Structure 1
Amino acid sequence: MFIQHVSARLPGMSVNLLEQPERFNLTSFKALIYKKFIGIEHVPVAVPGEMETLLEQTVSAAVPLDSRERIKLVVHAHTCPVVGNYGALSMQRVLRRQRLHNALFVGMCANRCASIFDAMRLIRQSLQEQPDALALLVTGESAVTQELRLVENTAVMGDAAGAMLFGTRGQGNELLACCSHTYGQYARGVWLEGAPRASYETNYPAMMLQIIQQTLAEAGMTLDQVRWVIPHNVNRKSWIELARTIDLPLSRLMLANIPFTGHCFGSDMMLNLSHLTSTGALEKGDVYLMIAVGLGGSFGAALFRY
């Protein structure tokens, strides 16, 4: 299975964390701490109604006009269980306007920000059964509440949308392996307290290493063969600490977007991959590893060859 096209879009407004900390319920001092340790400076924020426009732009950019009838599956991988009004979802309107009439549309959110990897596995299975078809993976949602916008001492959530078009043939971006694992004892996520929270923080590096090793093993590869690790943009500090733990050179860790986007839910993967391709940082044959963690102890990763 190959990524045939990838696209990502940010909203028109970007809020400076230091200039408007009150917008995120932060003091000026706390905003400085977030900049220093998390690494974020600007947060993309969609105005009401803009997310639907971003979703449509990403779908339009990812799907050539002459390929639309071949798309048999569209998966919207999102973090929040509810991303619109019942019976009037933005993605349904987008698909109608984009004339993707032959596609089955489903949403996935069980593993939160790691749901994108569940979507990839579903798409892989679908394309094995319909090798001449195409499938579209879409991400995109807005942090519409303060609870969604800020994960205390961990991340600031940005708004963005992304799309990947998959097929069984391609010139690059071949999926080599895709894995996910959920540690159910941490299902309470941000509401973990006491010993369970301490356990999660202690075991986080080991759980991350396990999903990396599991994914690499599925492809018969080692970390030394990976040119780029493309993480979700939770915060710079945690990724640097993890890189040191697993002996990954920081030069192979894609962190360039964190100051400008924050953590845009599942769209981080599209934003970061688009950055690497547009800057020429990826060369033919490079192997790259996407990896993300969802609230509630969900870990996922996917390995590709460019």
Structure 2
Amino acid sequence: MTSLAPTRPDVVLRQVAAFAPERSVTVEEIAAGLGLNRYQTRLFRRIRGLNRMRSDPDLGLLDLVCPPADALLATVAERDRIRYLIFAHTAQDLTPTTMIAADALRERLGLTGAEAFAVTQHACASGLLAVEVAGELLRADGDPTALALVLTGEQPFTRAVQVLWNTSIIGEASSACLVGLGGEGTRVLSYAARTVGEFFDGYQLTGEALHRFGSTYHTHLIAVIREALDAAGLELDDLTLVIPHNVNISSWVTICATLGLARDRVFLDNVGEFSHCSCTDPFLNLATLARRGALVAGGRYLVTAVGLGATYSAMVVEC
């Protein structure tokens, strides 16, 4: 099943901010606690390109998610313009049943007038889905000054959700994205998503299903990349840079070879520094490039994400 949003440059990422805990651990330091043997550890470092990741067991969920939101909100004069708070995350349950995470974030951030809800249906691709949902809600709202705040950030609480087979290890980071209609910022030119339902088992995939997921991963992601480019009326050569999810480096080596894309046109710096941070990856990478002054005015960027279940997503944006 594929969903495709046509070119609609009215949705703008007004600001993007990211946060990661100060505590950083190496693959080797975290391997023992995850039950990884030395061969698996070497695989993650030498083949997958993982080096370090952020992890702070003393940090609560709200303490992880709120810092980038606080940074953005400090620049918003009229907070009542924020009509929607959308918390995108991968694991469906992040809090006890007595606590609704989106509501708790709304209260802590002082956005009591905003509608708050979570988006999890696309797993690690839910962040891009949340931006698309935010745009639809803002169009329906009827107020051109209304805003939406998209938040990401979660902590892998079991080994089952921290180690993706021999593919990646989940680290901790969070992001906040202020979305509006029109104005200055990064325009969303297109969005495409493809859900391949045969892989619905996600983390529980085994045997032949797991093999098919791995062998078709690049095919489905490349297809959705082409769909997003077509919807934006662009070719691969028109892109300034590809801003990927941080699952690993080896998968992007394969994708680059298949597309005929030079590796230096894909931003992979954060893979070794942060590892894969669930829904946060695309926004973390955008914020890193912005902080470095590396985003070119008028540049077109392809942002990607893949969520187990399995959803492949791509979004084309223009600074």
Measured against the shorter chain, the TM-score band is over 0.9
Deviations 1:136-193 (A, max 9, x none): 1100100011111111210000011111001112223101011211011111224333
Task: Note if 1:35 corresponds to 2:45.
Answer: yes
| CA contact 1:62–1:163 (8 Å) conserved in 2 | yes
| CA contact 1:52–1:91 (8 Å) conserved in 2 | no
Task: Note if 1:264 corresponds to 2:274.
Answer: no
Q: Partner residue of 1:62?
A: 72
Query: After alignment, is 59-68 or 87-96 more displaced?
Result: 87-96
RMSD: 1.5
Query: After alignment, is 171-180 or 10-19 more displaced?
Result: 10-19
Deviations 1:182-231 (A, max 9, x none): 01111122433333333322322221111111111111111111111111
Following the alignment from structure 2 to structure 1, what is the Cα–Cα distance between the partners of residues 216 and 102?
Answer: 37
| CA contact 1:177–1:303 (8 Å) conserved in 2 | yes
Q: Partner residue of 1:17?
A: 27
Task: Note if 1:119 corresponds to 2:130.
Answer: yes
Task: Note if 1:198 corresponds to 2:211.
Answer: yes
Deviations 1:108-134 (A, max 9, x none): 111100111221121111111232200
Q: Partner residue of 2:264?
A: 251
Deviations 1:31-89 (A, max 9, x none): 12210011111121132443311211111112224131100011111000101122323
Deviation at 1:294, TM superposition (A): 0.5
Task: Note if 1:221 corresponds to 2:231.
Answer: no
| CA contact 1:11–1:54 (8 Å) conserved in 2 | yes
Q: Partner residue of 1:291?
A: 304
> Alpha carbons of 1:300 and 1:185: their partners in 2 closer, same or farther (altered >3 Å)?
same
Following the alignment from structure 1 to structure 2, what is the Cα–Cα distance between the partners of residues 174 and 184?
Answer: 30
Task: Note if 1:107 corresponds to 2:118.
Answer: yes
Following the alignment from structure 2 to structure 1, what is the Cα–Cα distance between the partners of residues 71 and 102?
Answer: 15
Query: After alignment, is 253-262 or 20-29 more displaced?
Result: 20-29
Aligned partner of 2:60 among 38, 47, 50: 50
Following the alignment from structure 2 to structure 1, what is the Cα–Cα distance between the partners of residues 110 and 216?
Answer: 46
Large movers: runs of 4+ above 6 Å? none
Task: Note if 1:85 corresponds to 2:96.
Answer: yes
| CA contact 1:117–1:180 (8 Å) conserved in 2 | no
Following the alignment from structure 2 to structure 1, what is the Cα–Cα distance between the partners of residues 207 and 39?
Answer: 27
Deviation at 1:286, TM superposition (A): 0.6
Q: Partner residue of 1:210?
A: 223
Task: Note if 1:304 corresponds to 2:306.
Answer: no
Q: Partner residue of 1:159?
A: 172
Following the alignment from structure 2 to structure 1, what is the Cα–Cα distance between the partners of residues 61 and 210?
Answer: 33
TM-score (norm 2): 0.91
Identity level (%): 29
Following the alignment from structure 1 to structure 2, what is the Cα–Cα distance between the partners of residues 70 and 87?
Answer: 29
Deviation at 1:24, TM superposition (A): 2.3
Q: Partner residue of 2:288?
A: 275
| CA contact 1:232–1:291 (8 Å) conserved in 2 | yes
Following the alignment from structure 1 to structure 2, what is the Cα–Cα distance between the partners of residues 29 and 219?
Answer: 43
TM-score (norm 1): 0.95
Task: Note if 1:97 corresponds to 2:84.
Answer: no
What amino acid sits opposite 1:253 in the alignment? V
Gapped runs of 5+ residues in structure 1? none
Following the alignment from structure 1 to structure 2, what is the Cα–Cα distance between the partners of residues 149 and 132?
Answer: 40
**What SS does the aligned partner of 1:257 have?**
helix
| CA contact 2:161–2:203 (8 Å) conserved in 1 | no
**What SS does the aligned partner of 1:18 have?**
helix
| CA contact 1:120–1:178 (8 Å) conserved in 2 | no
Gapped runs of 5+ residues in structure 2? 1-10
Task: Note if 1:5 corresponds to 2:15.
Answer: yes
